[in-house]
Amino acid sequence: MADQPTAIERFINGILPENPVYRQLLGMCPTLAVTNGMKPAITMACAVAFVLLCANVVTSLIRDLLKPHLRIVVFTLTIATFVTIADRFLAAYFFQMSKTLGPYIPLIIVNCIIIARCEVCASKQPVLVAASDAVGQSIGYGLALVSIAAIREILGTGELFGLQILPVSWPDWVIMVLPPGAFITLGLMLGLVNWIDMKKNGNLK
Partner 1 sequence: MPEIINSIDSTEKTGPVIHVTTSPHILEKGAGTRRTMLDVIIALIPVMAASVYLFRSYAVKQIVICTLSCLSAEVIFIRMRGKSITINDFSAAVTGIILALSLPPSMPWFVGVIAGFAAIGLGKIIYGGLGMNIFNPAMVGRAFVIIAFTGILGADAYSNLSGVADAVSGATPLTALKYSGIHTALSNMFWGNIPGSLGETSVIASVIGGLYLIYRKAASLEIPACIIATIAIIAGLVDLSCGHSGIFFYHHLFGGATMFGAFFIATDPVTSPLTFKGKLCFAVGVGFLTMIMRMYSGYPESFMFAILLMNAVTPLINRWFIPTPFGGK
**Positions that interact with partner 1 (CB under 8 A):** 171, 173-176, 178, 180, 184, 187, 191, 204-205
Which residue, 142, 117, 112, is CA-closest to 130?
117
Amino acid (one-letter) located at 125? Q
Considering beta carbons, is residue 73 or 175 the nearer one to partner 1? 175
Q: From the CB of 190, what's the least distance to partner 1, in Å?
A: 11
Tell me the closest approach of the beta carbon of residue 173 to partner 1, in angstroms: 4
Cα separation of 179 and 84, whole Å?
27
Closer of 99 and 199 to partner 1 (Cβ): 199
Name, in order, each residue with C-beta under 8 angstroms of 124's C-beta and a sequence gap of 6 or more: 1, 4, 63
Minimum CB separation of residue 153 from partner 1 in Å reads: 14
Complex with partner 1: residue 27 or 37, whichever CB lies closer: 37
Closest distance between partner 1 and the C-beta of residue 187, in Å?
A: 8
Instruction: Output Rg (C-alpha) for the chain, integer angstroms.
Output: 18
Name the region of 161 (left: φ>0; alpha: ψ -120 to 50; beta: rest). left
For residue 164, list its beta bridge partners.
Answer: 159
Closer CB to partner 1, residue 17 or residue 180? 180
